[in-house]
Copies of this chain bind each other. A is one copy, B any other.
Amino acid sequence: MNNQVERGNTMNGDLKIFSGTANRPLAEAIAKHAGVELGEVDIMKFSNENIKVAYKETVRGKDVYIIQPSCAPVNEGLMELLIMIDAAKQASAARITAVTPYYPYVRSDKKDEPRISISAKLVANLLKTAGADRVMAMNLHSPQIQGFFDQPCDHLLAGKVLCDAAEAMGTENGVVVAPDAGSAKHAGHYAKRLGLPLAILDKRRSDDSEKPSMENIIGEVKGKKAFIFDDEVASGGSLIEAAEVLVKNGASDIIAFCVHGVLSGNSKERIVNSAIQKLVITDTVYVPEEKKHDKLQIVSIAELFANAIMFTNSGRSISGLYSRF
């Protein structure tokens, strides 16, 4: 096994992990798990806002991983990533993997009105043009996004990490809740993994009245500990709505799990003041200290990414690392 890793190393070049400025704590955690130091790179901005990237150590012939999830400021971070990839390519890196645990523009994945851009596809094309040989991402909004890439895209999933957190809280008398019908399939995976029943909130009207009747809940929540699962929390609006319905229907506890904690605007205040008792997110998106609060729990996907990177570097299959959700 070790031998195989060694051989793979030789084939793909020595492993080098670099971090952009988007989420350096995550990058450091990944590098630590991978047993390497983060590579040294200078990233600065001129007075005209132009970004300059200069690697301070050789990348020639190396297997380079650039960690840069989509965090605020989003478009700055994306341009920085593209420039980092280009600089590594021009400096003769053997292979470059863009590691975007939270993939930029992941929700712009379809053309649901005329004359708009499917920007998640555009980003895939830009990454390829800049020189990314591979992409590594987590919980893409729709699984079809993998088809936006011509180069291989490793799609990691946070299911195991979130379930471990749920189990640590105790799942007895629990129920997994999908916040809307669209996420029912996904939530079902969590229910199965946790050995819990499933309930679905359905905001759509069941008759032709205009008002959505939020009373539609498939499955039983009364007196139960509700575990809501979703892929992303931005303003927190739909989570809080769901919590209200659950309360109205007699749920005893409400705990939410979201992979990507975008936490935009005044989401902190809204969540703190809501019926949600706990919001568990991962560290794909950087959360500054001022956004943290007692209800917020952050679990790390750093080890999972570290493993995926090490396996990819050494040419071992990473399918064993995948959970299915």
Judging by beta carbons under 8 Å apart, are A94 and B53 in contact? Answer: no
Q: Which residues of B contact A204 (CB under 8 A)?
A: 184-185, 188, 198
Judging by beta carbons under 8 Å apart, are A185 and B188 in contact? Answer: no
Count identical subunits in the complex: 6
A322 to B113, CA, bound (A): 10
Q: Which residues of B contact A105 (CB under 8 A)?
A: 50
Judging by beta carbons under 8 Å apart, are A122 and B82 in contact? Answer: yes
Judging by beta carbons under 8 Å apart, are A86 and B119 in contact? Answer: yes
A206 to B220, CA, bound (A): 8
Tell which of B61, B91, B118, B126 touches A12, judged by Cβ atoms closer than 8 Å.
B61
Judging by beta carbons under 8 Å apart, are A83 and B185 in contact? Answer: no
Q: Given contacts A50-B74, A199-B206, A206-B218, are A83 and B117 in contact (CB under 8 A)? A: yes
A25 at interface, CB cutoff 8 A: no
Q: A197 to nearest B CB, angstroms? A: 4
A48 at interface, CB cutoff 8 A: yes
Q: A241 to nearest B CB, angstroms? A: 16
Judging by beta carbons under 8 Å apart, are B120 and A147 in contact? Answer: yes
Q: Quick check: which of A29-37, A274-282, A311-319 contacts chain B, the rest being far away? A: A311-319
Q: Which residues of B contact A318 (CB under 8 A)?
A: 60
A208 at interface, CB cutoff 8 A: yes
A225 at interface, CB cutoff 8 A: no
Number of A residues whose C-beta is below 8 Å from B? 110
A47 at interface, CB cutoff 8 A: yes
Tell which of B7, B92, B147, B199 touches A109, judged by Cβ atoms closer than 8 Å.
B147
Tell which of B74, B86, B110, B185 touches A181, judged by Cβ atoms closer than 8 Å.
B185
Chain A residues 102 to 138 lying within 8 A of chain B, measured CB to CB, are 104-105, 107-122, 125-126, 128-130, 134
Judging by beta carbons under 8 Å apart, are B218 and A218 in contact? Answer: yes
Judging by beta carbons under 8 Å apart, are B202 and A208 in contact? Answer: no
Judging by beta carbons under 8 Å apart, are A152 and B90 in contact? Answer: yes
Q: A4 to nearest B CB, angstroms? A: 8
Judging by beta carbons under 8 Å apart, are A61 and B8 in contact? Answer: yes
- Nearest CB in chain B to that of A146: its residue: B111
A318 to B91, CA, bound (A): 10
A48 to B197, CA, bound (A): 32
A78 at interface, CB cutoff 8 A: yes
Q: Given contacts A82-B122, A86-B122, A147-B109, are A47 and B312 in contact (CB under 8 A)? A: no
Q: Which residues of B contact A244 (CB under 8 A)?
A: none
Judging by beta carbons under 8 Å apart, are A152 and B92 in contact? Answer: yes
Q: Which residues of B contact A219 (CB under 8 A)?
A: 206-207
Judging by beta carbons under 8 Å apart, are B181 and A47 in contact? Answer: no
Q: Which residues of B contact A83 (CB under 8 A)?
A: 117, 119, 122
Would you mind naming 15 contact pairs between A and B with Cβ atoms under 8 Å apart? A11-B61, A13-B315, A54-B113, A61-B315, A82-B122, A84-B117, A86-B118, A87-B117, A90-B116, A92-B312, A144-B147, A147-B147, A185-B204, A198-B206, A207-B220
